[in-house]
Amino acid sequence: MSRNTAAVAELTRRLVSIPSHDDERAAGDAIEAWLHAETDAAVRRDDHGNVVARRGEGETSVALVGHHDVVNPDASQRAAGGPDDADPEYVVEERDGRLYGRGAADMKGSLAAAMCAFRDADPAAELVFASFVGEEAGGVGARAAIDDGFAPDYAVVGEGTTGYSAPDTTDVAVAHRGRRGSTLLASGTAAHASEPGAGANAVYRACDAVDVVRDLPTPGTTVLGHRMRGSAAVTEIEGGSGWNVVPAECSVTIDERTVPGERVPLDRVESVEGVEWIVDQDLPPMACDDEAFADAALAAADAAQSGTPEHVVKPHATDAGWLAGAGTTCVVAGASEPGEAHTDDESVSIDVLGRCQRLYCDLAERWPVE
């Protein structure tokens, strides 16, 4: 293990051990303190809890972006504490060249790699580091930072792209899908089930709306030669108040995966009498709009590993969607592998952490091209 990889692994251990599923302040404190101690950068903690640091000079800015919140840990991922220890540290274990613990993959490992790269790089432009809060809650930290004026020209977001094109290969995502979560509310008129004609059955109306969803076209687009297609799926249905009552209400949940520029025309469900469509969440997709930057990121990824990385499309939404919507040119590259995030045995490869540190450092030093 190289000295740089060992340093990234040790920082990952520290960050993963800090609880940040419902209060990110302690993790933010640790990140802020490390940046002050290890760099001469201008470090700022904003009113939302985001940590932003800047070093280097130039008309162009390149950001290394991550988040320090995590989803709720499994009981096995929390250390045993005393009766007064309401929020004990998370368990961090090393086995077979991997670090196990809540947030190791999503995404404190890549965050640690970005912090070390931020410290070690000789940047070709202004280098920015940003760790946001609330990514798992819909990108609230990134959105707040953008509203406050956070606007780097370019960004690499450290969400997972390892193992997409081939095992143990860290790729560069030039696009990702977004997620729009919707609810269909079907309203009717209750009646006794022995006289169904006396009411208007909300479940029937909901089923008619589901039939509309099944027949809707799913849009597709192409980003830097890579084809993306959206999707929409009914995932939940709930209605009725009793076995002998014609239901007056029924709700249907829809999970839609969106692509840049187009959406499934879900508003058509409102052609069904008594059905209302409500958008509950809308996480935007991302498409890189600068092929040269995408190529530079791929070259950095190639130089950082023995495998041959590729440009890929990521199926999941990230904070890159919010940044791209605000005008930042983004790619995504990080240590996490498919199926690792949010699991009870979440882990990250130590070797890949070192690889990501090299990738981020190299990209900061090679972009922009003179």
Chain segment 322-355, per-residue pLDDT in tens: 999 999 999 999 999 999 999 999 999 999 999 9
Average pLDDT over residues 163-177: 97
Which CATH code is given to the segment(s) 3-177+285-366?
3.40.630.10
What's the pTM value of the predicted model, to 2 decimals? Answer: 0.93
**pLDDT for the residue 79:** 86
Peptide bond just before 107 cis, omega within 30 deg: yes
Residue 113's alpha-carbon distances to 154, 252, 266, 297, in angstroms, are: 18, 42, 41, 15
Chain segment 100-118, per-residue pLDDT in tens: 999 999 999 999 999 999 9
> Do residues 137 and 69 lie in contact, with contact meaning Cβ atoms separated by under 8 Å?
yes
- Integer Cα distance of 127 and 113 in angstroms: 15
Phi then psi for residue 42, to 5 deg, are: -80, 115
Average pLDDT for the chain: 96
- Integer Cα distance of 370 and 296 in angstroms: 12
Q: Is the pLDDT of residue 83 over 60?
A: no
Q: What tokens appear for 323 in the block?
A: 């940044």
Under the banding of pLDDT at 50, 70 and 90, the label for residue 2 is: confident
Under the banding of pLDDT at 50, 70 and 90, the label for residue 4 is: confident
Residues of the chain with CATH 3.30.70.360: 179-283
**Which secondary-structure segment (H or E) carries 126?**
strand 126-132
Average pLDDT over residues 190-201: 96
Under the banding of pLDDT at 50, 70 and 90, the label for residue 82 is: very low
**Which secondary-structure segment (H or E) carries 174?**
strand 172-176
Domain 179-283: which topology?
A: Alpha-Beta Plaits (3.30.70)
Find the DSSP H helices in the chain.
Answer: 3-17, 25-38, 109-120, 140-147, 202-215, 291-303, 320-325, 350-366
**pLDDT for the residue 26:** 97
Q: What tokens appear for 92 in the block?
A: 């961090």
Phi then psi for residue 302, to 5 deg, are: -65, -40
- Integer Cα distance of 335 and 110 in angstroms: 6
Chain segment 24-58, per-residue pLDDT in tens: 999 999 999 999 999 999 999 999 999 999 999 99
Phi then psi for residue 284, to 5 deg, are: -75, 150
Question: CB under 8 Å to 30, separation ≥6 — which residues?
Answer: 14, 15, 18
Under the banding of pLDDT at 50, 70 and 90, the label for residue 84 is: very low
Q: Is the pLDDT of residue 156 over 60?
A: yes
Residues of the chain with CATH 3.40.630.10: 3-177+285-366
Q: Is the pLDDT of residue 317 over 70?
A: yes
Q: What tokens appear for 164 in the block?
A: 């997409």
**pLDDT for the residue 341:** 93
